[in-house]
Amino acid sequence: MNIRLKLVLITLVSLIIFVAEAKKGLDPYKVLGVDRNASQRDIKKAFHKLSLQYHPDKNKNKGAQTKFEEINNAQGISVHYVCFGAAYEILSDEEKRKNYDLYGDERGGPSFNGGSAGDHGGYSHFTSGGSGGQWQNMGGGSRSYSFSFGGPGGGKPFGFDFNDIFSNFFGGGMDSGSGFGGDMGSGSGFGGFGSSAGSQSGFKRSTKSVRAVSSHVFENEINGKGITWLLLSYIPSMMSVQQYESILEEINNSLTGALKAGKINCENEPSFCKKHGISPRREPRLFVYSYITSESGSFVEYNDDWNVKSLKSFCQEHLPRFSRRVSLDNFQPSFGAGEKLPRVMLLSTKKDTPVIWRTLSGLYRKQFVFYDAQVLDVSDPEVRRLGVNALPAIVGWLSNGEKEILKAGISVRDLVSAVQELGVLLSSFEKKNKIASSRTKKSESESSNKQVPLLTASNFRAICGEGNPVCLIGGFRSSKMRDKLESILSMVSQKSLSRRRSLYSDSKDSISYTLVDAAKQQPFLDAFDKSGFRSSDSFLLAYKPRKGKYTTYIGKLNVEEVEKFIGSVLSGDVQFSKTRKKPVIV
DSSP string, 452-506: -PBP-TTTHHHHHSTT-SEEEEEEESSHHHHHHHHHHHHHHHTSSTTPBPPTT--
Do 247 and 352 share a domain, yes or no? no
pLDDT band at 240 (very low <50, low <70, confident <90, very high): confident
Distance separating alpha carbons of residues 574 and 54, to the nearest angstrom: 87
* Element housing 246 (H / E): helix 241-254
Whether the ω angle into residue 392 lies within 30 degrees of 0, i.e. cis, is yes
Distance separating alpha carbons of residues 60 and 64, to the nearest angstrom: 7
Do 121 and 11 share a domain, yes or no? yes
Do 305 and 339 share a domain, yes or no? no
- In sequence order, the 6+-apart residues with CB closer than 8 A to the CB of 134 are 126, 127, 144, 145, 146, 147, 148
* DSSP letter, residue 191: G
**pLDDT confidence of residue 337:** 61
Do 474 and 566 share a domain, yes or no? yes
Distance separating alpha carbons of residues 148 and 133, to the nearest angstrom: 6
Q: Please state which of the ranges 23-27, 242-246, 397-401, 539-543 shows the lowest mean pLDDT.
A: 23-27
Pairing of strands 259-265, 210-212: parallel
Instruction: Give me the chain's average pLDDT, please.
Output: 74
Compute the C-alpha angle 226/392/429, nearest 5°: 55
pLDDT band at 144 (very low <50, low <70, confident <90, very high): very low
Do 238 and 287 share a domain, yes or no? yes
Task: Reply yes or no on whether the pLDDT at 170 is more than 70.
Answer: no
425-440 pLDDT tens trace: 999 999 999 988 887 6
Compute the C-alpha angle 19/193/268, nearest 5°: 145
Of 164, 192, 220, the last residue of a domain is 192
**353 lies in a domain?**
yes
Task: Reply yes or no on whether the pLDDT at 206 is more than 60.
Answer: no
Report the pLDDT averaged over residues 348-377: 95
Report the pLDDT averaged over residues 11-19: 56
Do 466 and 436 share a domain, yes or no? no
**pLDDT confidence of residue 129:** 38
Do 218 and 186 share a domain, yes or no? no
Distance separating alpha carbons of residues 197 and 241, to the nearest angstrom: 10
Are the C-beta atoms of residues 89 and 31 closer than 8 Å to each other? no
**259 lies in a domain?**
yes
**pLDDT confidence of residue 333:** 87
Distance separating alpha carbons of residues 356 and 76, to the nearest angstrom: 49
**Residue bearing the bigger pLDDT, 275 or 127:** 275
Are the C-beta atoms of residues 201 and 72 closer than 8 Å to each other? yes
Report the pLDDT averaged over residues 87-115: 58
* DSSP letter, residue 225: S
**449 lies in a domain?**
no
Report the pLDDT averaged over residues 275-282: 93
Task: Reply yes or no on whether the pLDDT at 400 is more than 90.
Answer: no
Of 317, 342, 372, the last residue of a domain is 317
**pLDDT confidence of residue 121:** 37
Distance separating alpha carbons of residues 449 and 48, to the nearest angstrom: 73
**pLDDT confidence of residue 260:** 95
Do 11 and 133 share a domain, yes or no? yes
Q: Please state which of the ranges 69-73, 272-276, 474-478, 510-514 shows the lowest mean pLDDT.
A: 69-73
Report percent pLDDT > 90 for the chain.
35
Report the pLDDT averaged over residues 166-194: 30
pLDDT band at 103 (very low <50, low <70, confident <90, very high): low
Report percent pLDDT > 70 for the chain.
65
Round the CA-based radius of gyration of the chain to a whole number and report it. Answer: 37
Do 350 and 281 share a domain, yes or no? no
| Domain CATH code at residue 439 | 3.40.30.10
**pLDDT confidence of residue 39:** 83
Report the pLDDT averaged over residues 401-416: 90
Report the pLDDT averaged over residues 67-79: 42
**106 lies in a domain?**
yes
Count of domains forming the chain: 4
* DSSP letter, residue 219: I
| Domain CATH code at residue 127 | 1.10.287.110
Do 40 and 168 share a domain, yes or no? yes
Q: Please state which of the ranges 44-53, 134-143, 396-405 shows the lowest mean pLDDT.
A: 134-143
290-347 pLDDT tens trace: 998 888 899 999 999 888 899 999 999 999 999 999 999 878 887 766 678 999 999 9
**pLDDT confidence of residue 246:** 87
Task: Reply yes or no on whether the pLDDT at 278 is more than 80.
Answer: yes
Task: Reply yes or no on whether the pLDDT at 193 is more than 60.
Answer: no
**323 lies in a domain?**
no
**322 lies in a domain?**
no
Do 288 and 148 share a domain, yes or no? no
**200 lies in a domain?**
no
* Max avg pLDDT among 173-182, 350-359, 458-467, 533-542: 350-359
**In which domain, by residue range, is 137 found?**
3-192
- Would you say the pTM of this structure is higher than 0.75? no
pLDDT band at 244 (very low <50, low <70, confident <90, very high): confident
**pLDDT confidence of residue 339:** 74
**Residue bearing the bigger pLDDT, 373 or 511:** 373
470-511 pLDDT tens trace: 999 999 999 899 999 999 998 888 765 544 444 433 444 478
**Residue bearing the bigger pLDDT, 63 or 566:** 566
**pLDDT confidence of residue 533:** 81
* Element housing 81 (H / E): helix 79-91
Nearest to 427 by CA among 448, 396, 452, 471: 396
**291 lies in a domain?**
yes
* Element housing 17 (H / E): helix 3-23
Nearest to 49 by CA among 313, 285, 240: 240
264-273 pLDDT tens trace: 999 999 999 9
**pLDDT confidence of residue 199:** 31
Task: Reply yes or no on whether the pLDDT at 131 is more than 90.
Answer: no
* Element housing 514 (H / E): strand 511-517
Of 293, 317, 341, the last residue of a domain is 317
Distance separating alpha carbons of residues 568 and 584, to the nearest angstrom: 26
Do 63 and 184 share a domain, yes or no? yes
